[in-house]
Amino acid sequence: MSAPESPSSRREFLRLAALAGFGLGIGNGLTSNAEAAPDPRALSFSGIKEIGKTRPRLAGAKPVWNLTTKPMEKVRVAFIGLARGMTHVDSALNLPFAEVIAVCDLLQDRAENAAKKVATKTGKRPAVYAGDENIWEKMIARDDIDVVYISTPWEWHVPMCVKSMKAGKHAFVEVSAAVTVDECWQLVDTSELTQRHCVILENCCYGDSELFVLNMARQGFFGEIKHAECAYIHDLRQEQMYRLGAEGAWRRNYHTFIDGNLYPTHGLGPVAQYMGINRGDAFKYVVSMSSPEFNLTQFRDKNNPNGGRHKDEKYICGDMNTSLIKTELGRSIMIQHDVVSPRPYSRINALCGTKATFFDYPPRLAVDGKGHGWAYEGDKLRAFMQENAHPLWKKVGELAKRVGGHGGMDFIMNYRLLDCVRQGVTPDMTVYDAADWSAILEISACSVKNGSMPVQCPDFTRGGWKELTPLPTVS
Ligand SMILES: NC(=O)c1ccc[n+]([C@@H]2O[C@H](COP(=O)([O-])OP(=O)(O)OC[C@H]3O[C@@H](n4cnc5c(N)ncnc54)[C@H](O)[C@@H]3O)[C@@H](O)[C@H]2O)c1
């Protein structure tokens, strides 16, 4: 049985499954008349005047930007969503200090496959929760879990994070962490109230190029940092937009009602870290512009995917969205989003300082005083990058490549983040980063909707960024 295609067809799927007595999870006592899946169109989108307003801290809440927790020998993890989520399961299975306690997916076979993999590797079968949209609530109520990984469609991220933190767990959530600015506040407020981490699983912050640039930026190699460029440019038309049983079941929906940068964090996360955003600097305002929409409609009309069932969909998200972010220190960031054009993959990943400039895809490095061209590229740059690799890559890079996951960066990320929980130290990406980076989705859309007017960014740290200094990001 393939995954249902949209929130409404998922509801129908569950109704039919209930009628047929289909696949309920083990001993859960739940029936399939579960609450409806969250409808992203019903989310609270802000107007241009309200969106940038900083909300007061809730009574009883405390900042979590330097939150430390009790160290532990083993970090007990559980997983909701087992497509992309399997990469995180694989990482955990290769970490001696992680233990997989439970796995959960709407689809029984995905949960069973994950459990089988864990049992084969460890000899211990994790608990399985499956077959119902809300069965994850049973799982997070257990008292033997420290971290809940959330790798589900975007509309589920915030409800699952909030309830996980309220159940006393740290929430590790896939990108983007949230769809709206209001949802970003929910993450911040819940993390501050519960004193649990809400960590965005921004794997691109752990790529070897990105950690090399971070390493050099921290050592002052770039001089004064003034500008960055980044993007998510990835032609997803075939695989992720129309493939049922995968992202084609839900991702395209966002193209029907939001025109902006729908997936900002892969590009933005790394450059925000180079620039010390939330720790010495902060996003101030955004100006955004979209090109016309052509490619998704043309692809659909030409290929008639899934027997014509998408023929009445109207896509409004411009093919290329370009946004400019101004920071409080006056620096600038250019960020783009295009998942439908025929062009090579790129996150751009560029950093410009007074002493050097790095550009990726392919990697190139210009250095002041070493001529007007690229001082390092090709083999010469590869050798230089290896010499100056980040300590994390030097330490576990070889293992990371063997375990895999986007060239090893998924493993490096999971190693580092779970190790932070094990040690009880603040993870490299706090809830303020999850909120700040994800908020660009709605902020860019708000600017596009208002004729590219500048839109203020909310300060999720409520002024904390002025005093904070960057976290070390070492092991
Ligand atoms: N960081 C990366 O490189 C990367 C790569 C791919 C996807 N992602 C992100 O990961 C997330 C998941 O993407 P995906 O490609 O795995 O999507 P997918 O649609 O292929 O898989 C989602 C999984 O979640 C399950 N699910 C849905 N609702 C559920 C519920 N209520 N309870 C339990 N399980 C539920 C589905 O059955 C499915 O197995 C998205 O946020 C996506 O943006 C990140």
Local confidence pLDDT in tens for the 475 residues of the chain: 333 344 444 433 333 333 232 222 222 222 333 456 799 999 999 999 999 999 999 999 999 999 999 999 999 999 999 999 999 999 999 999 999 999 999 999 999 999 999 999 999 999 999 999 999 999 999 999 999 999 999 999 999 999 999 999 999 999 999 999 999 999 999 999 999 999 999 999 999 999 999 999 999 999 999 999 999 999 999 878 999 999 999 999 999 999 999 999 999 999 999 999 999 999 999 999 999 999 999 999 999 999 999 999 999 999 999 999 999 999 999 999 999 999 999 999 999 999 999 999 999 999 999 999 999 999 999 999 999 999 999 999 999 999 988 999 999 999 999 999 999 999 999 999 999 999 999 999 999 999 999 999 999 999 999 999 999 887 6
Please choose from 13, 24, 151, 157 the residue to mutate so as to test ligand 1's pocket, defined by most ligand atoms within 8 A of CB.
151
Are 244 and 2 in contact by the 8 Å Cβ rule? The answer is yes
- CA of 436 from ligand 1 middle (Å) equals 21
Tell me how far apart the alpha carbons of residues 173 and 179 are, in angstroms, rounded to a whole number.
13
Burial grade of 252 (CB within 10 A; 0-12, 13-18, 19 or more): buried
Alpha carbon 289 to its chain centroid, in Å, reads 23
Residue 365: both structure tokens together: 């490095």
Beta partners for residue 334, in sequence order: 229, 324
84 Cβ inside 6 Å of ligand 1? yes
Residues 6+ apart with CB under 8 A from 254: 40, 154, 179, 262, 317
Total residue count of the chain as it appears in this document: 475
Q: Give the ranges where 378-429 is alpha helix by DSSP (H).
A: 378-387, 391-403, 409-423
409 Cβ inside 6 Å of ligand 1? no
Q: Which atom of ligand 1 is nearest to the CA of 133?
A: 31
Q: Which of 124, 119, 111 minimizes the C-alpha distance to 80?
A: 111
Structural domains of the chain in order of their starting residue, each with its CATH number: 205-394+430-466 (3.30.360.10)
Predicted TM-score (pTM) of the model is: 0.93
Tell me how far apart the alpha carbons of residues 166 and 23 are, in angstroms, rounded to a whole number.
28
Residues 6+ apart with CB under 8 A from 33: 14, 15, 18
- CA of 176 from ligand 1 middle (Å) equals 11
What is the Cα Rg of the chain in Å?
22
Are 219 and 194 in contact by the 8 Å Cβ rule? The answer is no
- CA of 190 from ligand 1 middle (Å) equals 22
Tell me how far apart the alpha carbons of residues 177 and 161 are, in angstroms, rounded to a whole number.
9
Shortest-distance Cα residue to atom 18 of ligand 1:
246
Are 171 and 197 in contact by the 8 Å Cβ rule? The answer is yes
Residue 161: both structure tokens together: 């994070």
Sheet holding 376-377, edge to edge: 376-377, 364-367, 356-359, 350-353, 225-233, 332-338, 321-327, 283-290, 455-456
- CA of 200 from ligand 1 middle (Å) equals 14
Q: Which atom of ligand 1 is nearest to the CA of 202?
A: 1
137 Cβ inside 6 Å of ligand 1? no
Greatest extent of the chain over all pairs of C-alpha atoms, in Å: 73
93 Cβ inside 6 Å of ligand 1? no
30 Cβ inside 6 Å of ligand 1? no
